[in-house]
Amino acid sequence: MFLKLKSDTSIQKLLSEMGICSQEVLVFIDGKISPETAIAKKGQEVSIIYFKHGAPQSGSALHKQRKYEKCECGGIPVYFAPHIGKHFCKKHFLEYFEKKARMEIRQKDLIKKNEKIALGLSGGKDSFSMLHFLSHLKEALPFQFFAITIDEGVKGYREHTIGRAKKFCKKLKVKHYIYTFKKEEGVSLDSLSKEGKANCSVCAVLRRRLLNSKARKLGASKLIIAHNLDDTAQTVLLNLVRNEPLRFARMEEPLVQSKSLIQRIKPFATLSEKEVATYAFLHGYDYGEGACCCPYVQHAIRRFIRHQLNLMEEAYPSTKLRIAASGHTIQAAIRKTIPKEKLKINSCEICGEPSSGEICKACSALAK
């Protein structure tokens, strides 16, 4: 969305008048990334880019007008963090971002020295950011990592993201493996769609099984997922909306440890989606290059919940942090109620992969 301004304009006011939530967009003034607190001058060109999905169909944003300020160092800001009321220039934003991710790793002991780790790389902004972050982290913490990309078989979408993933890995000299639903599962998401089976839940269980099995066979002790704070907060609300309290028990980690089940870790757990989107842009991610989002996500309830959460965060900063914290509290409480003798990991009778029942979720989804 491009606008040529006829007068000096507050970006916050502009977004408010257009009903746009600042948590869902990046703003550029004359091609330079700017915080939503900026003032654009007459004659300048403002571009507004949705970094995930497109403009919502309905709903309006609640805006709190905040003062535009320079970074504490006096530099031009690229990002405003409303939950702490601070502006960051490029240098200090990158330091702030990586410090938070490193703290998450250190506090939860996520990555150990000389460990071999797999990264789930979709080619989107989140995994692109994780790829860059891990490349920087290796300079201070010696460990090995490689990337795994899953091609679900979505024509007009996946070829763009796989092309990006290949380019990113080649540039950063990261070993890259690509596996397809078609070859590994015998189906593509497009073919499942024709049968009326394609949805986010089916795709998720198939992708999760494939990532786990391939990471294990390639010798990884852990699998890094580029989920951020928004993903966690959305999952908490989804579990409530769907009345699935037991999902809280395994929200962050499995109930039972198993050698066949690779531990999933999330270094970006305390970083918002907008922070990740900004980090990606500052490292060269092009939001205008190819398809943005999977076409099957358009009807997912998570998309609706995501927008509602962003509206709440816009009006009440730190909402996502509080919701995520509530999820962890609920998780701990529910885990205490589950008898340990009832917990065990089985091997799926069809594919042999780990499962809580006789048949795993992936095989059950394909059999329907």
- CB neighbours of 272 closer than 8 A, spacing ≥ 6? 23, 228, 229, 230, 313, 320
Q: List domains and CATH numbers for the chain.
A: 2-68 (3.10.20.30), 98-240+257-336 (3.40.50.620)
> Which mean pLDDT values do the consecutive 10-residue runs of the chain (368 residues) have?
88 90 92 95 92 59 76 97 95 98 96 96 95 95 96 88 93 96 91 75 90 96 96 94 85 77 95 97 84 72 90 92 95 84 80 88 86
Where residue 284 falls (left for φ over 0; alpha for ψ -120 to 50; beta otherwise) is: left
Count the neighbouring beta carbons within 10 Å of the beta carbon of residue 163: 13
| Helices 125-137 and 90-108, packing angle to 10 deg | 80
pLDDT of residue 247: 84
Q: How far separated are the first and last CA of the chain, in Å rounded?
A: 42
pLDDT of residue 63: 57
Global pTM exceeds 0.85? yes
d(CA 340, CA 118): 30
* Entry field: residues in the chain: 368
Where residue 364 falls (left for φ over 0; alpha for ψ -120 to 50; beta otherwise) is: alpha
pLDDT of residue 252: 75
d(CA 200, CA 340): 31
Residue by residue, DSSP assigns 235-258 as HHHHHHHTT-THHHHTSSS-SS--
pLDDT of residue 341: 60
pLDDT of residue 327: 94
The helix or strand, by DSSP H or E, that contains position 97, with its residue range, turns out to be helix 90-108
d(CA 15, CA 36): 8
